[in-house]
Amino acid sequence: GENVEQHPSTLSVQEGDSAVIKCTYSDSASNYFPWYKQELGKGPQLIIDIRSNVGEKKDQRIAVTLNKTAKHFSLHITETQPEDSAVYFCAAILTGGGNKLTFGTGTQLKVEL
Amino acid sequence: GAGVSQTPSNKVTEKGKYVELRCDPISGHTALYWYRQSLGQGPEFLIYFQGTGAADDSGLPNDRFFAVRPEGSVSTLKIQRTERGDSAVYLCASSPLGRNSGANVLTFGAGSRLTVL
């Protein structure tokens, strides 16, 4: 089955700096890679996703890049703000072959003033 | 409703007891998922429903766990003879697309935190 590894487990940045979270996946057939943000006491919320036919996707301060050859994808947050502080999870799935999202272990992001 | 609703938000029970956790998906969403999240970990897949049927239950850890979705909307996750290791947050998610459609965007509920003493 799919295995997703995520790094770092914790990340502390100063407000206004950029944050980068990296994930690798094992199943080369996986073709959809969402990123979720989870705040304390809440469920994960989708913030951005990318499909395997695209190398990069951007939405305001958030961007995701995908390297299919190396089987890794990254989340980039620019101009970080205190409200970006949360746990971020990457995930991978082969769509159409079931709907079993495999999640990474999460990154605790702390944006310091 | 506007989002995925899960009840109870917190459940404390004793080892050996039976518990039920309920999920109300977004109205009209055909797919429903249960995940389990242990402290400091990512969500782990338990079971997926497409309509009323369990399309994939490969993530259920053992036969003490069972889930139903009799009318294709609300789902109940049932855990028999609870063990301390069952303590976790149980997350429900729903999505509007069918199994063989394109990428499914999952909307998660806030979860039910189960503590087995």
Across the interface, whether the CB atoms of A46 and B102 are under 8 A apart is answered: no
What's the pLDDT tens digit per position in B61-80?
A: 999 999 999 998 999 999 99
CB pairs under 8 A between A and B: 73
Residue B14 scores a pLDDT above 80: yes
Residue A98 scores a pLDDT above 70: no
Across the interface, whether the CB atoms of A100 and B48 are under 8 A apart is answered: yes
Residues in A closer than 8 angstroms to B111, CB to CB, are 43
Which amino acid makes up residue B42?
A: G
DSSP per-residue codes, A50-113: EETT-SEEEETTEEEEEETTTTEEEEEE-S--GGG-EEEEEEEB-TTS----EE---EEEEEE-
Pairing outcome for strands B31-37 and B88-95:
antiparallel
Nearest to B92 by CA among A94, A43, A48, A92: A43
User: Can you tell me the mean pLDDT for A4-10?
Assistant: 97
Q: Residue A97's pLDDT is what?
A: 58
Which stretches of chain B sit within 8 Å of chain A by CB? 4, 31, 33, 35, 40-45, 48, 55-56, 58-59, 91, 93, 95, 99-111
Reported confidence tier of residue A96, pLDDT bands at 50, 70, 90: low
Residues in A closer than 8 angstroms to B108, CB to CB, are 36, 43-45
Lowest mean pLDDT among A31-45, A95-109, B11-25, B38-52: A95-109
* Chain A residue with minimum CA distance to B109: A43
User: Can you tell me the mean pLDDT for A9-33?
Assistant: 95
User: Can you tell me the mean pLDDT for B20-32?
Assistant: 94
DSSP per-residue codes, B71-104: TSS-EEEEE-S--GGG-EEEEEEEESS-TTSS--
